[in-house]
Amino acid sequence: MKTSTIVLLGASLLTSNVLGKLSYTANMTHHGIEVPVEFTPLPALRSGPEKPPHIKRQSISNTANWAGAIQEAPSSGLFHTISANWQVPSISTPSGQTLGTTAYWLYEWVGIDSSCDVILQAGTGAYLDSQSGQVPLVWWEWFPDGPQQVNMPRTYPKYDRAPYSDKLSVNLGDTFFVNLTATSSTTAICFIENVSQGYAITITVSGGPTLCQTNAEWVVENPGTLDTPEFNTVFFTNCLATTTTGAEQGITGATLIYMDSEDGEVSKGLDISNSELQVSY
């Protein structure tokens, strides 16, 4: 069943200067059986991601809200796919701070581009506040369009027992595989799989903001307005970006990014091998 389609603008597009409007179709399977899926916009917590410095930066760069690694140029052609596995980390209140009603947030994701102010990205995350506790989630985004949380409708009874989310079942520690494919500069396929739970989501997107396909990154991000929560170390494994000419690039040669939180804590991206990136608080 196809669900959650945002309808493309009609023929008026052709006569206006509107370049396009993001539209997508999606399907989800659970152990190969098709199940319903729907999307809920996530709050845009900041006006946009702080751009990682991409001009004349050194091999290790510091940002306020990203930690991880960026391949800043394809070895040939343009970036075509990016993928990795990781486990959803548990987050906790930064030391010395008190949990309140405003949430701490953390995202883990892979993405294509960032230096041209457009990012195709998808991943996992969690927020933590005094009312909800810790809520893990799955999302995708074609920035500057806003993030969309992936949900199973409540009417799908089998999943109402999910322990953390009242919709899509996401557990801390679950292993995910995410694979993004830029099928052109404005079309993409986002594939998100909960390897642990056996569900897989395929989102086919068109009319996206035009990608330049020159960066590929593996990132832990604080998308929120508060300090970065403490988090269990994230190991991105099977890190792979491919290019339109078939070249493969992993972590080797990427710019490693450190995140400096306002509270003075630093989260670091460390390259363990060409296919493995560790991001620790």
Ligand X SMILES: *[C@H]1O[C@H](CO)[C@@H](O)[C@H](O)[C@H]1NC(C)=O
Binding residues for ligand X, rule: CB under 6 A, are 27, 29, 34, 81, 83, 88, 169-171, 174, 176, 179, 181, 189, 191, 194, 196-198, 202, 204, 240
Is the CB of residue 171 less than 8 Å from the CB of residue 124?
no
Instruction: State the DSSP H helix or E strand holding residue 14, giving kind and residue range, or none if neither.
Output: helix 12-15
Output 119 or 182, the one with its CB closest to ligand X.
182
Distance CA 220, CA 222 (A): 7
Taking the mean position of all CA atoms in its chain, how far away is CA 149? 10
Q: How far is the CB of 223 from ligand X (least distance, A)?
A: 18
| Angular region, 197: left φ>0, alpha ψ -120 to 50, beta rest | alpha
Give me the least distance between CB of 181 and ligand X, in Å please: 4
Residue 74 preceded by cis peptide, ω within 30? no
Q: Measured from the CB atom, is 52 or 250 closer to ligand X? A: 250
Nearest approach in angstroms of CB 5 to ligand X is 12
Residue 168 beta carbon to ligand X: minimum distance, rounded to whole angstroms: 7
> Distance of CA 42 to CAs 13, 88, 103, 137, 213, Å?
27, 18, 13, 10, 25
Residue 30: Cβ within 10 Å count: 17
Q: Which residue is nearest to ligand X (CB)?
A: 197
Cβ-based nearer residue to ligand X, 63 or 79: 79
Query: Please, are residues 7 and 15 in contact by the beta-carbon 8 Å criterion?
Result: no
List, by residue number, the catalytic residues: 221
14, 64, 139 from 124: Cα distances, Å: 36, 20, 6
Tokens 């209140």, residue located: 93
Closest CB to ligand X among 81 and 267? Answer: 81
Q: Quote the least distance from Cβ 273 to ligand X, whole Å.
A: 16
Please identify, using beta-carbon distances, which residue of 176 and 218 lies nearer to ligand X: 176
- Between CA 115 and CA 68 the distance in angstroms is 15
Give whichever of 92 and 171 is closer to ligand X, judged by the CB atom: 171
To ligand X, the closest distance from the beta carbon of 157 in angstroms equals: 16
Do you find a cis peptide bond into 147, omega within 30 degrees of 0?
no
